[in-house]
Chains A and B, each alone.
Chain A
Amino acid sequence: MTECLTNFIVPAAMLFVTGMLGVMFKRNMITIFMCVEMMLVAAMLVFTAFASATNDIEGGVFVFFIIAIAASEVAVGLAILTRLFKVDDTLSTKEINTLGD
């Protein structure tokens, strides 16, 4: 059981860290947003791994909730990003800086 778990937890952790680094260092808003979704996918993978390793349904069901939430987050997020692109003509974090002192 433990060996099978490690096979899933390690890639999930790698996905999560990749997403986290992407959010911190990428310059394009769409890429950053995709990295956020990647972090969610990593968490889903952990849920599924634990659920199947311990023969439980609850974690698998929760993954469906997360998929629904992530989908609505993407819908809202892409709407905001396309509006921002129309108004500002850029999606680079370097050039979007109207806020501040």
Chain B
Amino acid sequence: METLYSFDWASVKMEAALVIFAVLALLSAVALPRRFQTSVSALAFVGMYLALILACVFADRLMYCAYGCLIVICALLTSQMSFSFFDKLGRSGQSRNEYIAVVMMSAAGLILFGNTDNMMVAFVALECATICLYIMAAFSKDCASSLEAGVKYLIVGGFSGALMLMGIAFMYGAGRIEGVDFMYMGNFSAGLLNGFFKTGLVLVFAGVFFKIAAFPFQFWAPDVYQGAPTPSSAFFAVASKIAGVVFLAKICAYLNFNSADLLSVKEDVVLTLSVIAGATIIVGNLGGITQMRTKRLLAFSGISNAGYLLVLIAALLAEPSSAYAFNTVLIFYLGAYMMANYALFIAVGQFPEANQTAQTLSDYRGSFKKHPVVSLALSVNLASLAGIPPTSGFFAKLMVLVLAWYAQLYWLLGIMVAGSVVSIYYYFSWIRSMAEPEDKTPCQFAPTAAAKQTIVLLAICVLAISAAVLVFAGAQ
């Protein structure tokens, strides 16, 4: 019998740190007067740094700690972005601290969701995180576009949650009838011939595809990212996508198709995942081509990146012997994606109006002349998303391609290369509009000192990590 003392608290150290400090920050934000609100924010940041330190010092499971660190870094960057957002909105430090507390709780839920082996815990953690995400989407509560994004996310999130829950219910039932505990992911391979279980697994996958905005459940992403406050959009685009992908990857790593009667099931699963991955890449990139609004463009970029990540997962299923390399590639890809995306979302937030709903690429005209260093750093990050050679985005895509090659998914590899080539067009139209001279209206792009530093730092990380990869590859 497990008690409060026998429970392995170290396995939830990051979630615990985040939740405890979030609650502390929330209570003190309500209790303390206005002049203490900056210290309350500092308290919240202490909690997030503590989670990072705990993960690094007690790194027991590498994948868990690496994934947790990515989510906490997302929460840190979003909280940092919220400072200038709430200043522009003219709201007090108290509502900013409430926002940061919600971000931290959501991050804790996402970390637990990506790490648990139990479907019931996964569902509860996911819903805890998602409810916080609804609040984040609708946080500017006098702005119609933000509320509309919140409602759309609410409906889509509730729908996908219900699909997933129905799936879990069927899996539970199949497990009870067969006498196997199908709530534990390690037993999933035993259920692949059971009709109830298969239906359940399909529903769970559909629910997660909603979360990571994969085809055919990608339609909500552009609207929600466009309407939500920019710090929240960044968190949706990066943190919740990372969590969904890691969850899928974990299920797929547990599936094994070794017995002979499962070979046809394996072929079907790999084919279905590949088709979804290919369609996601095509839809994301085609949508991006004609897109002029920056936040929608980033949403389509996120959709196509979900496609590339699904290619990686399909490759894992087709070739399970690549499992060791798989985790490294996954974390590397997610890290590269996170850095480039956050740099761009921070840049999107650096305009005088609070909600960048209507911001287009042409608003960036003349920024190279006005802010050469930041624009150069942004170009590096855009090149990383497009997968241009010296950046880490290139190495991430290359590794995915290599794994897909080993798994013999050649046509998927072709779609991925073609999609990347198309994506260069729209990422570079952003760089081009930064390089163009400004029109009659002067360039509104005015990054704060903190934003400048963060964007440049992220660009340096994007380059430094690829240098590290080169050194590592040279040493081998």
Question: Which residues on A are within 8 Å of B, measured CB to CB?
Answer: 5, 16, 19-20, 23, 29, 32-33, 36-37, 39-40, 42-44, 46-47, 49-51, 53-54, 56, 58-59, 62, 65-66, 69, 72-73, 76-77, 80-81, 83-84, 87-88, 96-101
Contacts and interface: CB of A to CB of B under 8 A. Distances in A.
B2 to A, nearest CB: 15
Interface of B: 120, 124, 127-128, 131, 134-135, 138, 141-145, 147-152, 154-155, 158-159, 161-163, 165-166, 168-170, 172-173, 176-177, 183, 223, 226-227, 291-293, 296, 357
B148 A84 contact: yes
Contacts of A81: 151
A43 B166 contact: yes
Name which of B162, B170, B296 has the most chain A CB atoms within 10 A of its CB. Answer: B162
A59 B176 CA distance: 10
A77 to B, nearest CB: 5
B362 to A, nearest CB: 14
A62 B183 CA distance: 11
Contacts of A84: 144, 147-148, 150-151
A63 to B, nearest CB: 10
Nearest to A50: B173
Given A96-B151, A100-B223, A54 B162 contact: no
Given A23-B159, A77-B134, A101-B293, A40 B165 contact: yes
A98 B227 contact: yes
A101 B296 CA distance: 8
Nearest to A77: B154
A47 B196 CA distance: 13
A46 B169 contact: yes
Given A32-B155, A100-B223, A83 B147 contact: yes
Given A42-B166, A50-B176, A33 B144 contact: no
A46 B177 CA distance: 13
Contacts of A69: 124, 127-128, 131
A36 B155 contact: yes
5 contacts: A43-B169, A47-B169, A76-B154, A99-B223, A101-B292
Contacts of B149: 99
A88 to B, nearest CB: 5
B356 to A, nearest CB: 13
Contacts of B151: 29, 80-81, 84, 96
A65 B120 CA distance: 9
Nearest to A78: B154
A70 B433 CA distance: 46
